[in-house]
């Protein structure tokens, strides 16, 4: 009995840990989708950049806090460049065009990292050591606590930002109705830029936190990003809270599936989940109903 419970908890912990990264990725998608109605297929590359850059900067001799800080700040700049070079020029284009251009951007980012840093797999030392913590019969890595803790802080901070600060409300206003927001004096171009920067840093942060556990390489972005997108859709595209719940759900289901059914198909589980959701609950768990106006 105890062994079963311990095993269940083990899967739960690892699921929630990786789910926290998916939640951050999902938040990133939501931020950009709300600001521009674009699904940024390059979101996963920001996560990858966070991981790879933290390794690069720390190996270059920089003190860890600085290395990590840069690993979050540089992707923010990349995000802004993405907005300027890929999104602005095609604003208002067909969905297919937008999807393809962000895919193109993700290829460019990934390719450049591959050229610059190679195809190797890298790791970061855990932030506070490797000694596992015993909890309710299962082991928890200290790094997991970092992931969960920092992610929770970020989610709360973003929630506060959007609800109580003027700029946050301005961003929300832009997402509801860009024209109206412009008319009341909100600089919507700036809002778009900020949302990309924010989305990139949030994603990169997730990548930084996760690297000590799951390692990083030039191509981790694809799956992480896609799973984050699954989380965003599961929770209801455009809904911040939904994104977090969705991301966690995806992580947990993946871990449970890998543990109880088959670890070979672990990566397929989020996609089976999204097909399921798209067919039966296309607006997601927290999404509402909507009809096309003709």
Position among 65, 89, 179, 185 found at the interface with another protein (CB under 8 A): 89
Query: Closer CB to another protein, residue 77 or residue 272?
Result: 272
How far, in Å, CA of 142 to CA of 154, rounded? Answer: 18
Piece of 3-11, 202-210, 250-258, 271-279 that binds another protein (CB under 8 A): 271-279
The answer to whether 23 and 247 have CB atoms below 8 angstroms apart is yes
Piece of 20-28, 112-120, 155-163, 181-189 that binds another protein (CB under 8 A): 112-120
Instruction: Note whether 6 binds another protein by CB under 8 A.
Output: no
Query: Closer CB to another protein, residue 103 or residue 180?
Result: 103
Position among 271, 285, 286, 287 found at the interface with another protein (CB under 8 A): 271
Which residues are CB-contacts of 64 (< 8 A; sequence separation ≥ 6)? Answer: 58
Instruction: Note whether 81 binds another protein by CB under 8 A.
Output: no
Q: Helices 166-176 and 188-214, interaxial angle, to 10°?
A: 100
Q: Helices 43-59 and 220-235, interaxial angle, to 10°?
A: 140
Instruction: Note whether 99 binds another protein by CB under 8 A.
Output: yes
Retrieve residue 191's tokens. Answer: 């809002």
What's the closest the beta carbon of residue 124 comes to another protein, in angstroms? 22
CA distances from 100 to 33, 81, 84, 90 (A): 15, 17, 16, 11
Instruction: Note whether 111 binds another protein by CB under 8 A.
Output: yes
CA distances from 10 to 210, 249, 255, 261 (A): 17, 15, 9, 15
Retrieve residue 50's tokens. Answer: 């966070």
In which element (H, E) is residue 140 found? strand 138-140
Enumerate residues 114-133 that contact another protein by CB under 8 A.
114-116
Position among 6, 73, 80, 100 found at the interface with another protein (CB under 8 A): 100
Instruction: Note whether 104 binds another protein by CB under 8 A.
Output: yes
Instruction: Note whether 176 binds another protein by CB under 8 A.
Output: no
The answer to whether 17 and 6 have CB atoms below 8 angstroms apart is no
Binding site for another protein (CB under 8 A): 39, 85-86, 89-90, 93-97, 99-101, 103-116, 218, 222, 226, 229-230, 233, 237, 264-265, 267-268, 271-272, 274-275, 278-279, 282, 289, 291, 294
């Amino acid at each position: 009995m105890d062994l079963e419970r311990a095993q269940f908890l083990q899967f739960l912990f690892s699921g929630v840990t990786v789910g926290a990264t998916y939640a951050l990725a999902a938040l990133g998608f939501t931020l950009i989708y709300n600001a521009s109605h674009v699904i940024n297929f390059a979101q996963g590359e920001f996560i990858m950049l966070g991981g790879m850059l933290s390794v690069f900067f720390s190996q270059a001799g920089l003190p860890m806090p600085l290395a990590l800080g840069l690993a979050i700040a540089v992707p923010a700049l990349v995000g802004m460049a993405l907005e300027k070079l890929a999104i602005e020029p095609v604003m208002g284009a067909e969905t297919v065009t937008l999807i393809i251009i962000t895919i193109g951007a993700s290829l460019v980012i990934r390719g450049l990292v591959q050229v610059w840093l190679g195809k190797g797999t890298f790791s970061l030392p855990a932030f506070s050591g490797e000694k596992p913590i015993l909890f309710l019969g299962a082991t928890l890595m200290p790094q997991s606590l970092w992931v969960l803790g920092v992610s929770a802080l970020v989610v709360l901070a973003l929630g506060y930002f959007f609800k109580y600060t003027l700029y946050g409300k301005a961003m929300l206003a832009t997402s509801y109705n860009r024209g109206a927001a412009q008319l009341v004096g909100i600089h919507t171009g700036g809002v778009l830029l900020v949302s990309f920067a924010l989305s990139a840093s949030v994603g990169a942060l997730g990548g930084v936190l996760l690297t000590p556990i799951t390692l990083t390489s030039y191509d981790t972005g694809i799956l992480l990003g896609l799973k984050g997108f699954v989380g965003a859709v599961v929770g209801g595209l455009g809904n911040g809270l939904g994104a977090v719940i969705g991301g966690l759900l995806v992580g947990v289901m993946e871990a449970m599936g890998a543990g109880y059914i088959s670890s070979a198909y672990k990566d397929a589980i989020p996609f089976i989940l999204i097909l399921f959701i798209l067919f039966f609950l296309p607006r997601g768990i927290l999404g509402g109903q909507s009809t096309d106006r003709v």
